[in-house]
Amino acid sequence: MIVGVGALGTHAADALARAGVGHLTLVDRDVVEVSNLQRQCLFDEEDARRARPKAIAAATALRRVNESIRVDADSEELSVERFDALADRPDLILDGTDNFAARMLINDLAIRDGVTWIYAAAVGSTGRAMTIVPGRTPCLRCLMPTPPPTAEVGTCESMGVLSTAITSVVSFQVTEALRWLCRGEFTRGVWVCDPWETIAELRMRHTAPDPNCDSCGRGELPALRTRAESATPLCGRNAVQVMPHATGGVDLRKLADGLGDWASSVECSHQLLRFQADDARFTVFRSGRALVFGTDDAGRARILYDRYVGL
């Protein structure tokens, strides 16, 4: 299963389909935009003009690559309910997402069901990845008990990304996938690469699982308790209210500083952060709750929220 079929996910899916991995399930809630084409393979300008759902466009391309394998596409957001409705547990999950809320959901589902998954991320010119084998390696929450909001670490949308940072990190991720599927072997540690700075190294090789980790230590699996319906259209206002995945609120000033050049009309006070991005207007409260104006589509608002606030 590949969750997130953007830059990371399309490259990983392409390599796995060509390698002959017999059954791929692609999950992505977004549609193709022309700005994706710099780094996302399997898509073209026609997909962007038609705003095709990424999972479906990628599956169509992969069936032309290898018609002997099965490719399933799901163009909804991954949720506990959707995962539980699958006929079979996946043998392996690859992370192609762009936010920690989605990654923690994968993390906690994988721990609950004992499924190996491979975290991957890339932004700017750096990439990182880690194979997580429940019970045998630290999980993602062991390393990041409280993940930073996306706006603080940046995303491909807000900071840009070097396309070779993507392919470098996917090279590690897909190699790990093939080793796991063929031989049950995996690498311990966090793979960090920066092709621009010619860095490629394995860090934290000897880090052990944290017995106090809420996910793999205590088994509380907090991501599975997040409300699935966290975005609600506001009647007649062309706006959607989006609730944060995390609790504990947000430092609005830091959030504002992290927005970079992609946001305009930024106004920040102690109580509120307002900005404009992607033809939408955002009002973010200290709790992390946000109103997204300019759309009445809850899914679209959730995507924009995760892209710019990501809490």
Residues that bind Zn ion (CB under 5 A): 139, 141-142, 213, 215-216
Listed residue (2, 6, 40, 4) closest to 21, CA to CA? 2
Q: Least distance to Zn ion from the beta carbon of 209, Å?
A: 6
CA distances from 173 to 46, 182, 232, 261, 298 (A): 29, 14, 35, 31, 32
Residue 281 contacts residue 129 (beta carbons within 8 Å): no
CB-nearest residue to Zn ion: 213
Task: Please compute, for residue 87, the number of CA atoms within 13 A of its CA located in the half-sphere on the CB side.
Answer: 3
What is the greatest pairwise CA distance in the chain?
57
- Closest to Zn ion by CB, 71 vs 132, is 132
Residue 178 contacts residue 92 (beta carbons within 8 Å): no
- Closest to Zn ion by CB, 18 vs 136, is 136
| Sheet of 280-285, strands arranged across | 231-234, 239-242, 290-293, 280-285, 272-277, 264-268
CA distances from 11 to 7, 71, 135, 176 (A): 7, 15, 28, 14
Q: Least distance to Zn ion from the beta carbon of 216, Å?
A: 3
- Closest to Zn ion by CB, 216 vs 309, is 216
- Closest to Zn ion by CB, 219 vs 249, is 219
Q: Least distance to Zn ion from the beta carbon of 218, Å?
A: 9
Q: Least distance to Zn ion from the beta carbon of 138, Å?
A: 6
Q: Least distance to Zn ion from the beta carbon of 259, Å?
A: 31
* Catalytic residue (choose from 156, 193, 213, 216): 156
Sorted by sequence, the CB contacts under 8 Å of residue 12 that are 6+ apart come out as: 2, 94, 96, 120, 170, 173, 174, 177
Is 156 designated active site?
yes
- Closest to Zn ion by CB, 24 vs 142, is 142
Q: Which residues are catalytic?
A: 156
